[in-house]
């Protein structure tokens, strides 16, 4: 069975000229303006008339807005990013109606990400040179890696982060991404703070704590920012300094997680993790900063799409599974297991490292799910159909059976 190539985004940094930066800044502003006006129109239509306004209606509104004198500046930029903003809004409403996301929010000039999306009709890519609509010269891109051979981007997204860095993301088909040779191994993963992940093999990956390493530098920059006058040029410079430190932390964290998840997915056919409610865990004021620095949500996201890319199985065990209180040797369940207990002995004589025991229990329950499929929720479709994501609610009567050694 043939499968369609995986769509993959290649992100590069580029350095615009003054004219290009001015044009892109205008485009970002117009995209934000159109998105907010369309959101306001759709919200008003629902509140006043109980009417759902779709993409086609907002597209017609955009045409009328351009003809008005006060919004004539919308015609000065490429129309494609404006239309894409309306499509993104339609997607946000679809996610809201299907209860996958909250109600769409207005874009803020100071807090929202500056970005604009161009489709094939609004850019030219020839010979490794990318030229956007309304621009005479190609972008000065730092090609840190080549695009897939023979492939051209289908979508180009230009963005500027809070640190003032410019990026371009090119979405291409990547024929090189596909199912890897089957591996006969499986791994259970326990996410933590001291050890970022503990594997069922006994391996512990130390948490780099990227934010803690730059915490003093960040605190000093934030103190300097707090002393600046609102609206002054010096405050803008101080904001940029804080943003650059945050960007440095995020870049290092993302790089580490990319390398870790790539290794885990390549080495194992089945990856089993626990479904953690990070939002609730962040309510713990003592651990919130450390949990945010660990970035468990991003770790799970990367595992999810990499398993889809490479034909691996990702099994997600329900958070109610008592993995920390369960003996991985005999299946006995303890009544309590305080967080400060890092090692404990079972009545059967087994002595457990808390994190390793949790990872082994997660693996055992995941293998039981993969083998039997009892209680498995419907699988979510993935690109190419080569991998599956299963989420298991393990009922109490299956806990002991799942922990028994398998021959």
Joined tokens for residue 106: 């207005």
Helix (H, G, I), strand (E, B) or coil at 234: helix
Local structure of 219: helix, strand or coil: helix
DSSP-derived secondary structure letter, 387: -
Identify the three-state secondary structure at position 319. coil
Check 114, 293, 313, 355 and give the catalytic one: 355
CA distances from 158 to 11, 34, 91, 117, 346 (A): 10, 17, 19, 6, 56
Is residue 190 part of the annotated active site? The answer reads yes
Active site (annotated) includes residue 355: yes
| DSSP H helical ranges for 151-277 | 210-213, 215-226, 233-267
Q: Compute the distance between CA of residue 227 and CA of residue 234 in angstroms, rounded to an integer.
A: 10
Long-range contact set of residues 202-210: C-beta below 8 Å, sequence gap at least 24: 202/353, 202/356, 204/355, 204/356, 205/260, 207/293, 207/294, 208/252, 208/253, 208/256, 209/290, 209/293, 210/249, 210/252, 210/253, 210/256, 210/293
DSSP string over 57-72: HHHHHHHHHHHSSTTG
Angle subtended at Cα 281 by Cα 367 and Cα 261, rounded to the nearest 5 degrees: 45
Residue 178: half-sphere exposure toward Cβ, Cα within 13 Å: 10
Structure tokens given for 111: 């807090």
Task: Give me the torsion for CA of 85, 87, 92, 94, rounded to 10°.
Answer: 170
Question: Which of 23, 114, 117, 274 does the annotation list as catalytic?
Answer: 274
Note if 318 is an active site residue: no
Active site residues: 190, 274, 355
């Amino acid at each position: 069975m043939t499968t369609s190539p995986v769509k993959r985004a290649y992100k590069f940094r580029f350095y615009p000229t003054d004219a290009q930066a001015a044009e892109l800044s205008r485009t970002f502003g117009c995209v934000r303006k159109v998105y907010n006006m369309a959101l306001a129109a759709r919200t008003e239509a629902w509140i006043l008339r109980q009417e759902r306004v779709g993409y086609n209606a907002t597209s017609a509104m955009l045409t009328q807005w351009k003809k008005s004198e006060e919004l004539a500046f919308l015609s000065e930029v490429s129309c494609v990013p404006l239309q894409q903003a309306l499509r993104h809004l339609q997607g946000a409403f679809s996610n809201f109606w299907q209860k996958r996301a909250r109600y769409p929010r207005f874009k803020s000039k100071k807090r929202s990400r500056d970005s604009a999306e161009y489709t094939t009709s609004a850019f030219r890519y020839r010979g490794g040179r990318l030229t956007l609509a309304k621009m005479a010269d190609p972008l000065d891109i730092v090609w840190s890696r080549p695009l897939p051979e023979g492939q051209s981007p289908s979508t180009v997204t230009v963005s500027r982060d809070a640190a003032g860095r410019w990026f371009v993301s090119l979405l291409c088909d990547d024929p090189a991404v596909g199912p890897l040779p089957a591996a006969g191994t499986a791994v259970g993963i326990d996410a933590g703070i001291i050890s970022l992940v503990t594997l069922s093999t006994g391996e512990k990956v130390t948490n780099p704590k990227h934010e803690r390493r730059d915490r003093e530098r960040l605190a000093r920059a934030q103190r300097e920012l707090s002393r600046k006058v609102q609206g002054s040029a010096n405050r803008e410079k101080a904001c940029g300094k804080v943003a650059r430190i945050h960007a440095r932390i995020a870049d290092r964290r993302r790089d580490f997680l990319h390398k870790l998840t790539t290794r885990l997915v390549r080495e194992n056919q089945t990856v089993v993790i626990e479904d953690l409610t990070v939002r609730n865990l962040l309510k713990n004021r003592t651990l919130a900063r450390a949990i945010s620095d660990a970035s468990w949500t991003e770790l799970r996201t990367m595992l999810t799409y990499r398993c889809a890319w490479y034909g691996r199985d990702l099994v997600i065990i329900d958070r109610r599974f008592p993995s920390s209180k369960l003996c991985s040797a005999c299946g006995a369940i303890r009544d309590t297991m305080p967080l400060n207990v890092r090692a404990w002995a079972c009545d059967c004589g087994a002595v457990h490292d808390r994190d390793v025991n949790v990872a082994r229990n997660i693996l055992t329950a995941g293998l039981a799910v993969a083998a039997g499929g009892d209680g498995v929720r419907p699988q979510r479709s993935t690109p190419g159909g080569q991998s599956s994501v299963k989420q298991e609610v393990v009922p109490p009567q299956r806990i002991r059976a799942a922990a028994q050694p398998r021959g």
